[in-house]
């Protein structure tokens, strides 16, 4: 009775003590709890239960295990001695818990946000390969949209483990493209399979000697059947065109940018009442101004003086004099813009892009040239952003850089007009009653005839002509 009472007291006192996990020794599967004795007592303890599925294999420790299992007090030795005595007569097997180290090592490279009006894109190409080392924010793939080309950057420095998307897939913002291993473990590398364990060559068994076969007597050759002349192939009729063979053709899918440009230009033709008017400009004075001050301009502003800045300033002056050309139709209303954002059409290998010069009316020649050069470099490298191409109230297209003599440009929706520049050609002109050779350029204005009448279009082109032929008008505002 006294022994049972003491056991109950010890159990209640040790109820709040922490439990101890012990390792798996031999056939002993687990020791549930090792409860310490009262504070201040000797280093003795009580073991609540031990599961012994194969107790008969414990040898001379069988009686000791059985007493512990029956919750009898073990006062003759401490708990650590009990455990040490258990592992002297049978093998030890250490049980460890496996922790996942991949959770903090692997990071995902995902498609970034591409803009308010872009919901998806095409995975155009991978710039890296599995196994390549990448740094933080280093591009690993390019996403082609209907407006711009966007880079997928690596979020961490590491090694590309694998790609989870393929070239040509349609991806959305947030789509996983690649898995990056920060430590470089488990990365797939392009290594050709080695022949480290070649199969030992087997000795070929000696071939048995061929048995002698008696040859049958020769048979007489069969008589040839009379040849029947095959009818000649039918001649193609004259109405059937002779198409080139398919192996001389190549089928390449259109880029998303090219499809977008085609759709917008066709919508422009279907929506607007397009009309084009022309004029020609004598480039003598503007070219003279450029040749006289180009070195001083470059030395002070760090950029070359071109002809485009002169046409941008002339277009700004024309739009200020004819604000209807800077306006746009919206339903049953006309929206007049009190700002001038001029889009510059730039041809790239992937398609036509139109970056925008913001607030062109507030810029001087140097600021316009710097902006145009920066936008042109980004357009050719495919690094233009959505913000740099959004908006625009008027467009200038310079086909003259490619040698175009005359063209009718198409309006860039939702704008209402576009100015086309062309190549400079020396022509005989009457100047002061004399015929002289002059560098002349044709300019064309295509406009929406629903909004702009011929009067405003002709006045606009006339203002362009006056300013370009005499740039001093800009200083005097006349």
Average pLDDT, integer, range 254-265: 83
Tokens of 282: 């004598």
Q: How far apart are CA 60 and CA 81, in angstroms?
A: 15
Output the average pLDDT for the chain: 75
Q: Is the model's pLDDT at 389 over the cut of 80?
A: yes
Q: Which residues, including other chains, have CB under 8 Å from residue 158's CB and lie 6 or more apart?
A: 107, 133, 134, 180, 181, 182, 183, 184
Output Rg (C-alpha) for the chain, integer angstroms. 44
Q: What DSSP string describes 372-389?
A: HHHHHHHHHHT---STTT
Q: Is the model's pLDDT at 16 over the cut of 60?
A: no
Q: Percent of the chain beyond pLDDT 70?
A: 65
Distances in Å between the alpha carbon of 24 and those of 19, 98, 169, 283, 287? 16, 15, 52, 95, 93
At 79, give phi and psi (nearest 5°).
-65, -40
Segment holding 107, helix H or strand E: strand 106-110
Tokens of 353: 């892009």
Task: Give me the residue spans of the domains in the chain.
Answer: 2-86, 106-181, 257-476
Q: Is the model's pLDDT at 63 over the cut of 70?
A: no
Q: Which of 118-122, 127-131, 183-187, 400-404 is predicted least confidently? A: 183-187
Determine how β-strand 342-348 pairs with β-strand 394-398: parallel
Average pLDDT, integer, range 69-94: 44
Question: How crowded is residue 134: how many other Cβ atoms within 10 Å of its Cβ?
Answer: 21
Residue 71 DSSP code: T
Catalytic site positions: 449, 453
- Of the CATH numbers 3.30.420.40, 2.40.50.100, 3.40.630.10, 3.40.50.360, which one belongs to the domain with range 106-181? 2.40.50.100
Contact, 429 vs 439, CB < 8 A? no
Q: How far apart are CA 79 and CA 57, in angstroms?
A: 21
Nearest CA to 441 out of 471, 393, 391, 407 is that of 407
Tokens of 107: 């990071």
The architecture of the domain spanning 257-476 is 2-Layer Sandwich (3.30)
Q: Which of 79-88, 106-115, 267-276 is predicted least confidently? A: 79-88
Tens digit of pLDDT for each residue in 341-357? Answer: 999 998 887 778 899 99
- pLDDT band, very low/low/confident/very high, at 17 (cuts 50, 70, 90): very low
């Amino acid at each position: 009775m006294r022994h049972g009472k003491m056991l109950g007291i010890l159990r209640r006192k040790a109820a709040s003590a922490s439990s101890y996990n012990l390792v798996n020794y031999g056939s002993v599967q687990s020791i549930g709890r090792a409860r310490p004795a009262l504070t201040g007592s000797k280093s003795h303890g009580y073991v609540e239960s031990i599961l012994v599925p194969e107790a008969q294999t414990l040898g001379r420790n069988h009686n000791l295990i059985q007493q512990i299992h029956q919750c009898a007090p073990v006062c003759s030795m401490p708990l650590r001695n009990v455990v040490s005595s258990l592992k002297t007569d049978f093998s030890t097997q250490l049980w460890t818990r496996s922790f996942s180290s991949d959770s903090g090592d692997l990071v995902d490279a995902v498609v970034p946000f591409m803009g308010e009006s872009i919901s998806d894109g095409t995975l155009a190409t991978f710039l890296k390969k599995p196994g390549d080392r990448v740094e933080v924010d280093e591009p690993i793939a390019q996403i082609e949209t209907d407006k711009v080309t966007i880079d997928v950057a690596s979020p961490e420095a590491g090694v590309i483990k694998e790609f989870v998307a393929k070239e040509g897939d349609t991806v959305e913002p947030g789509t996983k493209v690649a898995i990056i291993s920060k430590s470089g473990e488990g990365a797939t590398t392009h290594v050709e399979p080695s022949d480290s364990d070649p199969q030992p060559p087997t000795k070929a068994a000696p071939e048995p000697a061929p048995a002698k076969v008696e040859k049958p007597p020769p048979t007489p050759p069969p008589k040839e059947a009379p040849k029947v002349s095959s009818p000649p192939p039918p001649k193609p009729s004259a109405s059937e065109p002779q198409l080139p063979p398919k192996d001389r053709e190549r089928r390449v899918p259109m880029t998303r940018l090219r499809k977008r440009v085609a759709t917008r230009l066709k919508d422009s033709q279907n929506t607007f009442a397009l009309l084009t008017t022309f004029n020609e400009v004598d480039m003598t004075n503007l070219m003279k101004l450029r040749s006289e001050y180009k070195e001083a301009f470059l030395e002070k502003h760090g950029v070359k003086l071109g002809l485009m800045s002169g046409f941008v300033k002339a277009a700004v002056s024309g739009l200020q004099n004819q604000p209807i050309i800077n306006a746009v139709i919206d339903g049953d209303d006309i929206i007049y813009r009190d700002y001038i954002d001029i889009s510059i059409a730039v041809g790239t290998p992937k398609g036509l892009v139109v970056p925008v010069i913001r607030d062109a009316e507030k810029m001087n020649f140097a600021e316009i040239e710097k902006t145009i050069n920066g936008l042109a470099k980004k357009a050719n490298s495919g690094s233009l952003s959505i913000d740099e191409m959004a908006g625009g109230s008027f467009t200038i297209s310079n086909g003259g850089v490619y040698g175009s003599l005359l063209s009718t440009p198409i309006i860039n929706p939702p704008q209402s007009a576009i100015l086309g520049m062309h190549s400079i050609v020396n022509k005989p002109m009457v100047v002061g009653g004399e015929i002289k050779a002059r560098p002349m350029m044709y300019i064309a204005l295509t406009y929406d005839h629903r909004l702009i009448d011929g009067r405003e279009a002709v006045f606009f082109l006339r203002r362009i002509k006056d300013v370009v032929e005499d740039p001093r008008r800009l200083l005097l505002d006349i």
